[in-house]
Structure 1
Amino acid sequence: MSRIAIIAGQGALAPAVAACLDDPLAFALPGFAPDGLTATTFQLERLVPFLDDLHAKGVTRVVFAGAIRRPRLDPEAFDPRTAQLVPRILTAMQSGDDAALRTVLDIFEENDLTVCSVSEIAPELIPAEGILSGEPTDADRRDAGRAARILAQTGPLDLGQGAVVAQGLCLALETLPGTAAMLDFAARHADLRPNPKGARGVLYKAPKPGQDLRIDLPTLGPDTVDQAVSAGLAGIAWAAGQVILLDRPEMVRRAQAAGLFLWAAGGLD
């Protein structure tokens, strides 16, 4: 029987994906275990034997779910077959995270494992175009459009997947520390808005241009709503059909309570 394996990372995404599967198998690198989901640990230094083990368990498809940073590799831990992949992996890592992720996907597929997107396994986690809470003003829509254009330009530089724009000005750009750090920065510099009584600003999230949408999609959750409220923003917008929402009902509840809009936007870039 064909089975699906979850290559899990930190956070709540892997458990959310597992809840959509009848008989999930979950695996994680050391130090990157997901929240609330039991996952078997595997070593990147023994990647080829791990792929063999997936086949032995009847796995034909895999889905990547959760946050993983570049692990430290132990040169002495490589088995002979995985060691042959090291130059290829290191070259990709030197080209940035996107190149490294694409190389990992290629290796899985070269070993007869189909890489699925979260949208295939759990489409309900990725909302289509529409407004889930509140109503963005014309100024909010312009700020979201400005943020989308900023990300379209910074994406090829392999930076983050989010930006905060208020009154046409970029208050913060997501980099390696992540969304929470970006929103904390925006909160601490809220006084930079030219008009204190003008548009309060928008958090916008989207994949990088050309990104493989099977892996590393932007993710928003209830904590993001709380952080956006703390930053004094008017709302959160994102690329429709390309961003994961964790616990959507709770996100909407918190947004409505705070008067924050949530908008899956289409065609901004």
Structure 2
Amino acid sequence: MTGAAKTAILAGDGVLPGVVAQALGDAGTPPLVLALEGFPPALPQGIAAESFRLERLVPLLDRLVDEGFARVVFAGAIRRPRLEPEMFDPRTAALVPRILTAMQQGDDGALREVIAIFEDWGLEVVGVDAICPALVPGEGVLAGEPSAADRADAARAAAILSITGPLDIGQGCVVVQGLCLAFETLPGTEAMLEFAALHQGLRPRPDGARGVLFKAPKPGQDRRIDLPAIGPDTVAQAARAGLAGIAWQAGGVLLLDREATIAAAKAAGVFLWARA
């Protein structure tokens, strides 16, 4: 990726902000990394982050415009932070009713409103996949080989998410032998897989298919923000849950640390499949 546009990364937990920052630096446009206070990203050596608070959002937006930034990338996991009313500046406080109204529509509504606010300041919001397209695999099996039963479980999981996704519930579920064993809700993927591990004895046929984790964006989701992701930790969690593999919507899920994730899957006997 090339281009001279000054870019800021709004960073949350995890390795993704560092991956994006490294890619921008390699392309000749080192970014400004801004980490939401309380959600420190894992950054490579030599890349630093400044912390910010949502209560001071408007001064931050003004700074980005004044310093000539043109683009913003949201990267990393962020849960809803606890806001301190006394820390709001007057102009940011004026945005609160707008944001709260959007939050009542769920995470997707809140994120779309956040994007709209940045765009109101003339800042282009771009997706991680626009900066690092190699993070989003196309269709194909990357490790192992899903059986016919596994493919059926993945299809069942995809059908479930196609119905629940518009309700803004989650981006993943676990299906075992055609039955939904676990579903991603607000606590996230790790909590879902811990639940699946605790209840893996519920398989109808103990010697049958072991089950599949499936991930996909929500239907109609703005893919510039909050794309689902998998990485080595996801593989380890799926293995502990006794699952046969991980499938996801091809072109719609970020694969972090590709080589390590594939190696971990092969070592654990877990398949990885980007499903069309």
Q: Fold conserved (TM > 0.5)?
A: yes
Q: Does the alignment pair 1:16 with 2:23?
A: no
Q: Does the alignment pair 1:95 with 2:105?
A: yes
Give the gaps of 5 or more residues in structure 2: none
SS of equivalent to 1:27: strand
Deviations 1:114-151 (A, max 9, x none): 00011100111111111100111111111001001111
Under a length normalisation based on structure 2, what TM-score does the superposition of the two structures give?
0.94
Residue 121 of structure 1: aligned partner: 131
- Alignment check: 8 A CA contact 2:65 2:121 kept: no
Residue correspondences, number: 266
Q: Does the alignment pair 1:31 with 2:41?
A: no
Q: In the aligned structure 2, how far is the partner of 1:14 from the partner of 1:57?
A: 21
Residue 164 of structure 1: aligned partner: 174
Q: In the aligned structure 2, how far is the partner of 1:32 from the partner of 1:79?
A: 22
Counterpart of 2:180, as a letter, is C
Counterpart mapping for 1:1-269 below 5 A: 2-22=5-25, 23-36=30-43, 38-266=48-276
Give the ranges of 4+ consecutive aligned residues of structure 1 lying more than 6 Å apart after TM superposition.
none
Counterpart of 2:106, as a letter, is G
Q: In the aligned structure 2, how far is the partner of 1:205 from the partner of 1:2?
A: 32
Deviation at 1:196, TM superposition (A): 1.1
Counterpart of 2:41, as a letter, is P
Under a length normalisation based on structure 1, what TM-score does the superposition of the two structures give?
0.96
Deviations 1:187-221 (A, max 9, x none): 11111111111111000001111111000010101
SS of equivalent to 1:14: helix
- Alignment check: 8 A CA contact 2:143 2:272 kept: yes
Deviation at 1:56, TM superposition (A): 2.3
Q: In the aligned structure 2, how far is the partner of 1:220 from the partner of 1:131?
A: 15
Q: In the aligned structure 1, how far is the partner of 2:174 from the partner of 2:248?
A: 11
SS of equivalent to 1:59: coil
